[in-house]
Amino acid sequence: MSTDEPDLEQQCSELGITIWKQRIHPVRVPHKARDGSLLLDFPSEAARQQFKQACIHKVSSNCLDGARSGCCLRAMDHCRGPAWLRWLPWNNSKPWAELEACEDRYVEACMAANAKGCTDHAESFCTLVVARPAGLEDTADEAQQQQQQQQRRGNGSRK
């Protein structure tokens, strides 16, 4: 390899590729179900709640971004009229300041109407995402009880 060739990191940065050196741990880990099969579930209830809150934030943010785009397009159509009419030479359009004020008011009203829907959607979606898989309801409690019993036995033998 010659010295005038760029190294891998430089080539990746020029192409906009990010190489992750840090390992990303899986959110869910395998647990044994009642029937013996392995199912993925969160390692703890705290991890489940943390993931749910992050999910709600991300889904709600993405929903509001999409709603904002749709509201902007509807505001333009509402305040400026149909697109075909805007191109006609005899169209008497409103002044820019008035159009901007109209669009701002329309977007604010539209976003206020969509905010509740986005939060409700995020809540229901993320509740389904973090739901416990069927067959793990009892086994997680049993596993915790077994661990506690083993710890008690271990503590009793050390005395």
* Residue 157, pLDDT score: 45
DSSP, residue by residue, 95-134: PHHHHHHHHHHHHHHHHHHHHHHHHHHHHHHHHHHTPPPT
Find out whether 18 and 12 touch, Cβ atoms under 8 Å: yes
pLDDT for residue 58: 95
User: What does R_g of the chain's alpha carbons equal in angstroms?
Assistant: 28
Q: What is the reported pLDDT for 91?
A: 67
pLDDT of residue 119: 94
For the chain of 159 residues, list the mean pLDDT of each consecutive stretch of 10: 67 81 77 81 88 94 95 91 75 82 95 94 92 62 61 55
Cβ burial of 75 (10 Å; 0-12, 13-18, 19+) is: buried
Please give the C-alpha separations between residue 12 and each of 19, 100, 150, in angstroms, as whole numbers.
8, 43, 50
Between the alpha carbon of residue 70 and those of residues 63, 65, 66, 80, 109, the distances in Å are 11, 9, 6, 15, 13
Whole-prediction pTM: 0.61
Domains of the chain, residue spans: 8-131
